[in-house]
């Protein structure tokens, strides 16, 4: 029957371990609504919306554990380490505190290596009637029986004969314990793989103690065995083990009908304290090393409550028995859509993550200084302008027409270039509308017209087989445009070279067209001031020359492309 029980427990253990080993736990965050219980969803919603500073506590897993180890009773009889095992279920109510319901079963054994003579009051070693209670069933033939009478209470003292106390007790308890985690709040690490904890609680203990008093149907004779507390311990124990069988047939002394009972065994309240350390193997499994001490309000856990007295009488001991259970256990976390048990989580983890990389944090709108109130912060403001003055992106007073007078003071907001320079109010001096205004610009007799007024104009160079204007070419055309603005009556001839084949003819046209288009569209010159001339000989194929038109010289400002459908690379 016992073997079947152990086989069943082993099967259950293997099933739990395999399910925990092959199941996967997805790492959850405090923003994951699936791990928040329904009753805490309002707080979770407020937290996500920024109305509550504290996230809702997530649903966390239950821990189920099984353990085995060494069990030992601490009482009046020297004890030995014996086997014990336990089961528990644990649930966290916070990051520090959790509750654990634990069942423990232990087998305690004890064997005294010192002889005891005052055993007469121990009912397990004497008869149960008043007439035989103080009889002497054990005799050490090597000693002498000394009978005395006691004046105390008028009862005879037990005879001075030697026995060696022994016992075997089966102990079971059920306790509810508060567990306090000591190291999961960490300031310099996200999580830990080790959980250190202490616990304490109350419960009930049931025990059944028996002694090995009979060798078959007769009582043992300890002839030839001498025990001393200071020496011969090993030899005495060996001799006792050789003498005694393993029957434990005699019920130990107990409280009789006055004791609370459960299934015929003694029932006593008990208190438990202990500490342990758990080592995480995965998010589901951990291994725990634990030691617990349980104290019960009873001195008969080892079947003995009488102490040896100096003058030969036996007196009651004044302390209670306790037992110790040192164990190694395997714990498994159970629960779907839940985070790990809270004692494995660091509550500072979320706070530090939010500080480092804000997701839900409500950050205040930055306010940057702007001393002059122009809308450009002082960090980027190049000019402190009076109030109401329009500025550009650099905080500098705007000058729309570029005449050097800010718009706030310019009485002529847009002054044509030909009317500049301007006076202090931004008003320009434009030429008069009749022909006399152009007198200074008219050709003198014997000059060659605009060619002399404009002077030598620069050429524009293109990269080989390219029609794109470089930055240098654009700067050159800006110089040409400035000269043309100062001579509004002049035209220029734009000349492109090379026409030996279709490709060169089309590229020469492209170059001329590119220059004229740029001066019209980018520099704002009128298209009728250009004479289109391409495919000429005597020049570089990648160069366009520009010269002032001679007196009476004219031509079209646009020409149809010679080969518009020519395939280009």
Domain coverage including residue 521: 450-548
300 CB burial (10 A radius; 0-12, 13-18, 19+): buried
Same domain, yes or no: 78 and 198: yes
Q: Nearest CA to 544 among 483, 486, 492, 502?
A: 492
Q: Does 226 map to a domain?
A: no
State the chain's mean pLDDT as an integer: 80
The per-residue pLDDT for range 437-453, each reduced to its tens digit, is 555 555 444 345 788 88
458 or 382, greater pLDDT: 458
Same domain, yes or no: 321 and 461: no
Other CB atoms within a 10 A radius of the CB of residue 204 amount to 15
Q: Does 70 map to a domain?
A: yes
What pLDDT, on a 0 to 100 scale, did the predictor assign at position 447?
A: 46
428 or 65, greater pLDDT: 65
CA-based max dimension of the chain: 168
The per-residue pLDDT for range 20-30, each reduced to its tens digit, is 444 444 444 56
What pLDDT, on a 0 to 100 scale, did the predictor assign at position 19?
A: 45
- Asked if 20 and 12 count as a contact pair (C-beta separation under 8 A), the reply is no
Other CB atoms within a 10 A radius of the CB of residue 127 amount to 12
Identify the band that residue 157 occupies on the pLDDT scale cut at 50, 70 and 90. very low
Identify the band that residue 500 occupies on the pLDDT scale cut at 50, 70 and 90. confident
What pLDDT, on a 0 to 100 scale, did the predictor assign at position 387?
A: 81
Same domain, yes or no: 351 and 468: no
Domain count, the chain: 2
What pLDDT, on a 0 to 100 scale, did the predictor assign at position 253?
A: 82
Same domain, yes or no: 461 and 348: no
What pLDDT, on a 0 to 100 scale, did the predictor assign at position 550?
A: 84
Other CB atoms within a 10 A radius of the CB of residue 227 amount to 20
Q: Does 434 map to a domain?
A: no
31 or 90, greater pLDDT: 90
Q: Nearest CA to 344 among 289, 286, 273?
A: 286
Q: Does 503 map to a domain?
A: yes
What pLDDT, on a 0 to 100 scale, did the predictor assign at position 161?
A: 58
- Cα–Cα distance between 527 and 521 in angstroms, integer? 9
Q: Which of 121-125, 371-375, 397-401, 507-511 is most confident?
A: 507-511
Q: Does 234 map to a domain?
A: no
**pLDDT above 70: residue 101:** yes
Same domain, yes or no: 329 and 478: no
Other CB atoms within a 10 A radius of the CB of residue 426 amount to 22
Q: Nearest CA to 71 among 60, 63, 62, 79?
A: 79
Segments of 281-374 assigned E as strands: 285-296, 306-308, 314-316, 322-334
The per-residue pLDDT for range 199-220, each reduced to its tens digit, is 999 999 999 999 988 888 888 8
Range 23-27 contact pairs with CB under 8 angstroms and sequence separation of 24 or more: 23/284, 25/282, 25/283, 25/284, 25/333, 25/340, 27/283
Same domain, yes or no: 95 and 204: yes
Same domain, yes or no: 168 and 285: yes
Q: Which of 128-132, 320-324, 559-563 is most confident?
A: 320-324
The per-residue pLDDT for range 238-293, each reduced to its tens digit, is 888 888 888 888 888 887 766 677 888 889 999 999 999 999 999 999 999 999 99
Identify the band that residue 18 occupies on the pLDDT scale cut at 50, 70 and 90. very low
Identify the band that residue 469 occupies on the pLDDT scale cut at 50, 70 and 90. very high
- Pick from 328, 356, 384: which residue ends a domain? 356
Q: Does 206 map to a domain?
A: yes
Q: Nearest CA to 553 among 492, 498, 466?
A: 492
What CATH number does the domain containing 73 carry? Answer: 2.40.160.20
The per-residue pLDDT for range 343-401, each reduced to its tens digit, is 999 888 878 877 777 777 666 777 788 888 787 888 887 888 888 788 887 878 887 77
What pLDDT, on a 0 to 100 scale, did the predictor assign at position 37?
A: 87
- Pick from 292, 324, 356: which residue ends a domain? 356
Residues 6+ positions from 351 with CB-CB distance below 8 Å? none
- Pick from 356, 376, 402: which residue ends a domain? 356
- Cα–Cα distance between 383 and 376 in angstroms, integer? 10
Q: Does 348 map to a domain?
A: yes
Q: Does 35 map to a domain?
A: no
Task: Please give the average per-residue pLDDT across 287-311, as a whole number.
Answer: 83
Cis peptide before 421 (omega within 30 of 0): yes
What CATH number does the domain containing 522 carry? Answer: 3.30.1330.60
Same domain, yes or no: 352 and 459: no
The DSSP secondary-structure symbol of 418 reads G
Same domain, yes or no: 173 and 314: yes
């Amino acid at each position: 029957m016992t073997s079947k029980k152990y086989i069943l427990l082993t099967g259950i253990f293997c099933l739990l371990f395999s399910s925990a080993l092959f199941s996967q736990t997805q790492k959850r965050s405090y923003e994951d609504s699936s791990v928040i219980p329904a009753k805490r969803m309002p707080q979770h919603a407020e937290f996500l919306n920024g109305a509550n500073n504290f996230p809702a506590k997530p649903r966390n897993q239950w821990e189920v554990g099984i353990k085995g180890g060494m069990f030992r009773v601490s009482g009046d009889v020297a004890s030995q380490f014996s086997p014990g095992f336990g089961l528990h279920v644990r649930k966290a109510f916070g990051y520090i505190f959790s509750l654990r319901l634990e069942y423990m079963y232990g087998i305690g054994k004890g064997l005294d290596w010192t002889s005891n003579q005052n055993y007469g009051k121990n009912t397990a070693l004497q008869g149960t009637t008043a007439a035989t209670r103080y009889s002497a069933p054990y005799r050490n033939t090597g000693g002498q029986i000394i009978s005395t009478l006691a004046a105390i209470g008028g009862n005879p003292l037990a005879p001075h004969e030697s026995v060696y106390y022994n016992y075997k007790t089966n102990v079971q308890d059920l306790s509810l314990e508060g567990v306090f985690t000591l190291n999961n709040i960490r300031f310099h690490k996200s999580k830990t793989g080790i959980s250190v904890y202490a616990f304490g609680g109350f419960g009930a203990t049931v025990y059944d103690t028996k002694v090995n008093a009979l060798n078959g149907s007769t009582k043992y004779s300890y002839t030839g065995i001498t025990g001393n507390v200071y020496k011969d311990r090993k030899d005495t124990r060996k001799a006792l083990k050789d003498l005694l069988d393993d029957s434990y047939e005699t019920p130990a002394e107990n409280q009789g009908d006055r004791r609370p009972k459960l299934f015929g065994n003694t029932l006593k309240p008990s208190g438990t304290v202990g500490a342990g350390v758990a080592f995480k193997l995965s998010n589901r499994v951990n291994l725990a090393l634990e030691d617990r001490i349980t104290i019960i309000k009873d001195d008969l856990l080892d079947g003995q409550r009488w102490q040896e007295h100096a003058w030969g009488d036996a007196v009651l001991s004044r302390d209670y028995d306790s037992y110790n259970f040192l164990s190694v256990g395997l714990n498994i976390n159970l629960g779907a859509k839940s985070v790990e048990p809270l004692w494995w989580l660091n509550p500072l983890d979320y706070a530090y993550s939010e500080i480092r990389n804000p997701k839900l944090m409500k950050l205040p709108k930055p306010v940057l200084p702007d001393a002059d109130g122009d809308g450009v912060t002082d960090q980027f403001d190049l000019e402190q302008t009076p109030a109401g003055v329009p500025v550009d992106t650099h905080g500098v007073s705007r000058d729309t027409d570029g005449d050097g007078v800010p718009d706030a003071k310019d009485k002529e907001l847009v002054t044509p270039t030909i009317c500049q320079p301007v006076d202090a109010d931004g008003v320009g001096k434009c030429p008069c509308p009749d022909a006399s205004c152009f007198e200074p610009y008219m050709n003198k007799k014997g000059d060659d017209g605009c060619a002399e007024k404009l002077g030598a104009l620069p050429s524009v160079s293109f990269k080989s087989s390219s029609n794109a204007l470089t930055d240098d070419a654009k700067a050159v055309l800006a110089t040409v445009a400035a000269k043309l603005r100062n001579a509004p009556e002049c035209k220029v001839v734009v000349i492109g070279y090379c026409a030996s084949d279709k490709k060169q003819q089309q590229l020469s046209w492209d170059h001329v067209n590119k220059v004229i288009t740029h001066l019209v569209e980018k520099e704002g010159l009128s298209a009728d001031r250009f004479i289109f001339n391409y495919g000429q000989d005597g020049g570089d194929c990648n160069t366009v020359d520009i010269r002032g038109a001679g007196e009476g010289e004219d031509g079209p400002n646009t020409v149809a492309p010679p080969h518009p459908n020519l395939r280009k690379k």
